[in-house]
Amino acid sequence: MEKGERNIFIVAVFGMAFWWPMLRNSVVGFLLSPDRVGEAWGHGGVCLFLVLAAIAAIGMALSPGRERLFSVPLPLAAAVGLLVACVLASVLGLLLVESPVPARGALVIANVVVLAAAYVALPIAWGALLLEMTASSPKRLLLVMSASYAVSFLVGYLSYAPAPWNLIRPVGAPLISGAAWFCCRMMAAKRAGCCIASSPAVPPSREGASSIRSLYVLVLVIFLVSSVATGFINSGTASYAPSMNTLVRDTLNVIVTLAIIALIAASKSLERVKFTLVVVLIVLLFSGIFLATLFQQSWFTVGIGLMQTSKSCVSLLLLMLVLLENSRSDASMTERSLLLKFVVPTLASTFISYLVVPLIAEGLGLAYSDFWGVLSLLLGFALGVFLFVFLSSLVIRYLPGATSSSETSLGSEAPAGPDATAGAMREVYGLTEKEAEVLALLLEGNTYKKIAALMYVSDSTVQSHAKSIYRKVDVHTKQELVDRAMELRGRRTL
């Protein structure tokens, strides 16, 4: 990685670390706390924020003639406009914090409007930037996102510092995140000469896209179902105040996210990373429900911490899947997908947590604590059903290949698979370990782009390995390479 590119990624990690708290509503919950703006304005402000953000997201996504504000080449006016909105959000937030209690309604409304605009615009801005900078390396994309997510919780420890340090995250988040994005765009444009040249749009393979979409549906269901638990944990209020519960949650998030980073860095298979993350996060959610329900006296804080941690990390995984699905799509389609598949579900999650759950509880006249037993059963049943469906789809997906192999090998020795064949060719032709790995994936029928995604490398790296394989095996086409492999496998099985 070049020095200029490395600097861009460092600034991006820092800037996104202040964007994630906005997405988790820590900023809105702090600024619109009933203690600061009054009970009526606190609840009304959150409702207005959700409505405005949802209208902006859906309207922008469905408008056929919208301007591509974050596409390439970079419109300087759009970048400056977003930066001004973020600065204004922080300035109004500071005025809201310093205003008398309760704050005047006009100031609350103005702050809500600019926060809603930044809430919708920043995911598109950061998503577009990440896709441009990591177009050839899905692994780098996931690592940057995970690193920024971990740093965001480290930044969260500022909330426990004395004033005015505790205001850096809730008040400065829009300004810092927007300024970091603006700097990244300017550095990237300067590094490219005048603007970032977009790579040709190459749609992902149908099999890969279908796999991501199926996994996205499962993660989305987990995300929305876990929002119910969050509503009970927060007792229906969006107010954010540092406490022992938030400290435990932030610490657990740092630990889990560092584990995610280690998993991504160590794994060579994109599919393995996605499936492992889903299983781990489901286990965390189940564990949190179990501890919070059955051990309310001694393990309640840890239990709700695990539940909130799993829900937060599911949000991260949701964004990962959306960006991976659109890593080779047209810019306008990426923008639409980010809005409809990530921003809108995130708003729906907040709506469930802070509006639907309180209304149901109030309508039934029951305390939130009365729901814990029922909640554990409902969440366990719902997640169990969807996990069963998901695992069944995996079995169905891979079963035909296994059945076919068993049928063809009845009465005879099973033929060697691509891995064994590639290993044999490595011995005969002196291939390297990476070349043998590429060869095995080629023999399975994968394209260069699919191999690049599976191995977490660029397309050019795969092409370089393939050229070396052709040279060592002394063939010129893929068909000749397959024929040579079949010939060698036939000799080995005789």
How far lies 56's CA from each of 9, 61, 82, 331, in Å? Answer: 29, 8, 14, 19
> pTM score > 0.75 for this model?
no
Q: Can you tell me which residue has the tokens 């390995």?
A: 465
For residue 102, say if its preceding peptide bond is cis, omega within 30 degrees of 0: yes
What is the architecture, at CATH level 2, of domain 418-493?
Answer: Orthogonal Bundle (1.10)
* Per-residue model confidence (pLDDT) at position 90: 93
Q: With a cut of 70, which residues of the chain have pLDDT below it?
A: 1-3, 64-75, 101-103, 135-136, 191-212, 214, 232-239, 271, 293-298, 328-333, 361-362, 364-417, 490-494
The counts of H helices and E strands in the chain are 21, 0
Q: Can you tell me which residue has the tokens 């105040």?
A: 241
Residues of the chain within CATH 1.20.1250.20 domain(s) are 3-394
The CATH number that domain 3-394 falls under is 1.20.1250.20
Please answer whether residues 344 and 220 qualify as being in contact, where contact means their C-beta atoms are separated by less than 8 angstroms: no
How far lies 338's CA from each of 120, 177, 210, 379, 446, in Å? Answer: 10, 18, 17, 27, 28
* Per-residue model confidence (pLDDT) at position 64: 64
Residues of the chain within CATH 1.10.10.10 domain(s) are 418-493
Q: Rounded to whole angstroms, how far apart are CA atoms 216 and 213?
A: 5
* Per-residue model confidence (pLDDT) at position 124: 87
* Per-residue model confidence (pLDDT) at position 19: 92
Nearest to 228 by CA among 376, 111, 88: 376
239 Cα distance to chain centroid = 25
* Per-residue model confidence (pLDDT) at position 139: 81
